[in-house]
């Protein structure tokens, strides 16, 4: 299996490179800064940098181009802003080589609930979000074909050591889940 990792606002990090090395198969990376390594000071500052240097719509364009170029069976694993961009891009693409999307804490999907899943999508939400109530978002997504939602017990950013909300136990639990047969089987949805 091939993989496309789509980063959060932190871009290409040592942690993401480590995850790529753990995956078997060819792994590609899509991130908002076109390969420029970031030196984040804080999560808040990095988010402002993301908005100034790229923003959600420009990141969507970059993700769309990367996803459109996929020509072999691929699973996409995406985080935060990247996960939301993947959700938006997949709705337009309908690329038959994209086999599954695993999207961690994609908070911006709340602004794009009218979209349909063209491939199996597994959303893993934070237990809560500061700017919105996740329950109606999860309820809406769960009603869509090809969509599976899980509300984790962890906060937004738990998979990224650079995030204020990084949780080592949560990271380990979901990394193990990514490598189990259950996670790699075809997604069973509504």
Residue 41: per-residue pLDDT: 84
CA atoms within 13 A on the CB side of 52: 6
Rounded Cα gap, residues 157 and 165, in angstroms:
5
How high is the pLDDT of residue 107? Answer: 94
CA 26, chain centre distance (Å)? 18
Average pLDDT over residues 174-182: 76
Query: pTM score > 0.85 for this model?
Result: yes
**β-pair type (27-30, 121-125):** unpaired
| CA–CA gap between residue 92 and residue 83 (Å, rounded) | 15
Q: Does the structure show a pLDDT above 70 at 122?
A: yes
Domain boundaries, the chain: 2-184
Q: Is the pLDDT of residue 2 over 50?
A: yes
**Banded model confidence at residue 177, pLDDT cuts 50, 70, 90:** confident
DSSP classification of residue 32 = T
Residue-wise pLDDT for 91-108, tens only, equals: 999 899 999 999 999 999
pLDDT in tens, 55-92: 999 999 999 999 999 999 999 999 999 999 999 999 99
Average pLDDT over residues 6-16: 93
Architecture of the domain whose range is 2-184 = 3-Layer(aba) Sandwich (3.40)
Do residues 70 and 4 touch, judged by C-beta distance below 8 A? Answer: yes
CB atoms within 10 A of CB 101: 29
Angle value at C-alpha 11, between 9 and 14, nearest 5 degrees: 130
Angular region, 35: left φ>0, alpha ψ -120 to 50, beta rest: left
The whole-number pLDDT of residue 39 equals 84
Q: What is the mean pLDDT of residues 125-152?
A: 96
The mean pLDDT of 6-27, rounded to a whole number, is 91
CA-to-CA distance for 68 and 126, rounded, in angstroms? 28
């Amino acid at each position: 299996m091939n993989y496309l990792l789509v980063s959060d606002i932190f871009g290409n990090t040592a942690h993401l490179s480590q995850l790529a090395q753990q995956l078997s198969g060819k792994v590609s990376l899509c991130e908002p800064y076109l390969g420029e390594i970031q030196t984040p000071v804080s999560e808040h500052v990095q988010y402002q940098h993301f908005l100034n240097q790229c923003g959600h719509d420009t990141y969507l364009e970059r993700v769309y181009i990367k996803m459109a170029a996929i020509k072999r069976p691929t699973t996409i694993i995406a985080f935060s802003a990247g996960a939301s961009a993947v959700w938006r891009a997949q709705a337009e693409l309908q690329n038959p080589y994209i086999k599954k999307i695993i999207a961690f804490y994609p908070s911006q999907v709340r602004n794009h609930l009218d979209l349909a899943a063209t491939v199996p999508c597994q959303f893993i939400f934070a237990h809560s979000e500061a700017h919105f109530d996740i329950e109606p978002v999860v309820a809406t997504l769960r009603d869509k074909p090809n969509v599976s939602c899980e509300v984790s017990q962890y906060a937004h950013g738990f998979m990224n050591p650079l995030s204020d909300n990084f949780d080592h136990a949560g990271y380990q639990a979901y990394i193990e889940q990514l490598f189990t047969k259950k996670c790699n089987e075809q997604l069973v949805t509504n």
